[in-house]
Structure 1
């Protein structure tokens, strides 16, 4: 049942997203009205998604919290452990050529630095050694620069530096940086400008900062599609933490996961843009029902632990 007013209808088909508006007037005498909208979806916009390649991730597989780095085939299969130290290794990211891994190393009780190693886990080198923690590092598309989050001057801010750790430069207050595929912009999350966590983009020289989301709930973890046309992120605006994609030029947004009271976080696009990997918390019982825990009267959260999921970029 709809009240009178304007309603946006958005269709997503992998590389195609379009929003149109329908005007709903007073209901007819019969109480039923039909509204038609036409969407010109290009042929081939929604190909079958087949997970390929290798997913890199951090995990603490035992009750003793000791984060290490692992890889697993995107289609499922044998897990390979890359690190096994007393330090916490987290936030890994493949280099653009796939030959190296950028990650963070350290301990929350002491300090965290940005480090790099070979794709097989060998030859680890710390790129930062500052008294304040440096984290959430990501490569520029050409592999010559690195963006990371630091509180080294008092602000929680995004900094950039050379791939060898040289010439660190503060860019903007925020976190969760992600470099655009053309190398010209960085998307990020910040609660410093509107009092609420929103998604922004900014040029790498610090100019032309723009806000992409405007919602009373948190929006986090932006991730660029390989062609630069879309940003995936997760949002709390629907009750859980759902995945959305946005057009960074027009601002159009669409929800691509519809499973309330679940957590879908930190999305990463597949190289062909047809799929997304993310960390999620969603447990299904034998009857196909979502399992939740009631943490207090009227408040629920998903059961289970965080796992790695892969879905088409059209969602589920």
Structure 2
């Protein structure tokens, strides 16, 4: 994790392609206003005709995007279909069909994800999270054994099709995607020191980007993929540094006396938000990515903040706070309202829709489980654990 504990201890699949669409009309949208840090009731839908994998995928995808499956008599929208050969289905509102789709290519799981994406867009007018650039949405995370060593994995966002991308039995942490989703950065003790590696997922080749004496960790890639922020202790205290994507042209952005952690970029690439220590207290702060004056990001009522994550639309900052236990909090990025504590857990990462988070929470003993949270309904679904303790997930954008 990118929290203080980590710093101290650390010191795919093609998606289905719509084959046909018939009787498809403009969506009838139900306006659902979301007050600042307010919550909305889930959209009730019925789901009929689907079995096995298709039913499970549709239930999962819809639940973590603000829907709830209810009996037909209680539903506002009616989803009917089949997965007998390929996935196909319709969505109706008041006997009016607003979506009719059938899918070919890929397997049943991919087709069901594609249908879920289309359902979300038909009902809400917004893009779903199930697909990203034509493929099932992916996450990267670490799976850790009881001895503290682990591996970096990539998988679909619901945990399916997981693959280990590292093989060494060593401490690993803080994996993040490049914007093109073709590579990742992560921290590894493979060479006996916490170093930041760049790992090409296409070729399997990797190289050290930051291997300075001391701490090198918590890489965060700029939205355009050209720069990387990370935490280095090469000048003394762990501070925020930036470099070009290939590990050149280093620049120190902070020079705090305590320790900094968990840098993340604003979606416009102008700011870097991070956790720091000021007068003995943990705080969130931000600094211009080109260098400049540090600004405190107040989190009233949410002490000991860390792990900030800026939403892709720029409106929200999610983070971990600690009030005895670790909790996931969300607040407006402009500070117009205090944070709202949502659920027990750590290490939030936003989906591209800026309303769904993936995070990890305790599941017994040392183990952590990845979970998906719809912020505005507080719907939470756990992802099946891959190996040991799964944590520090990042959503591909």
For the aligned pair, the TM-score class normalised by the smaller chain equals 0.7 to 0.9
Distance 1:17 1:209, change over 3 A: farther
353, 356, 359: which one aligns with 1:272: 353
Gaps of 5+ in 2: 1-30, 44-64, 68-119, 121-127, 131-136, 380-397
Distance 1:267 1:130, change over 3 A: same
Counterpart in 1 of 2:276?
Answer: 190
RMSD over aligned CA atoms reads 2.8
Cα deviation 1:28-49 (Å, max 9, x = unaligned)? xxxxxxxxxxx8x9xx9x8548
Aligned equivalents of 2:303 and 2:190: distance in 1? 30
Counterpart in 1 of 2:140?
Answer: 56
Tell me if the contact between 1:234 and 1:267 (Cα under 8 Å) persists in the aligned partners.
yes
Gaps of 5+ in 1: 1-12, 20-38, 284-302
- SS of the counterpart of 2:229? strand
Aligned equivalents of 2:152 and 2:374: distance in 1? 25
- SS of the counterpart of 2:253? strand
The answer to whether structure 1 residue 305 and structure 2 residue 357 are counterparts is no
Counterpart in 2 of 1:202?
Answer: 287
Higher relative contact order (CA 8 A, sep 6+): 2
Distance 1:242 1:158, change over 3 A: same
Tell me if the contact between 1:51 and 1:310 (Cα under 8 Å) persists in the aligned partners.
no
Q: TM-score, normalization: structure 2? A: 0.58
Counterpart in 1 of 2:317?
Answer: 231
Deviates more, 1:220-229 or 1:164-173: 164-173
Aligned equivalents of 1:114 and 1:15: distance in 2? 42
Aligned residue pair count: 255
Distance 1:166 1:247, change over 3 A: same
The answer to whether structure 1 residue 125 and structure 2 residue 211 are counterparts is no
Counterpart in 2 of 1:241?
Answer: 326
Q: Which has the higher helix share?
A: 2
Shift of 1:175: 1.2
Shift of 1:51: 5.6
Aligned equivalents of 1:309 and 1:14: distance in 2? 25
Tell me if the contact between 2:300 and 2:338 (Cα under 8 Å) persists in the aligned partners.
no
Tell me if the contact between 2:266 and 2:272 (Cα under 8 Å) persists in the aligned partners.
yes
Tell me if the contact between 1:176 and 1:188 (Cα under 8 Å) persists in the aligned partners.
yes
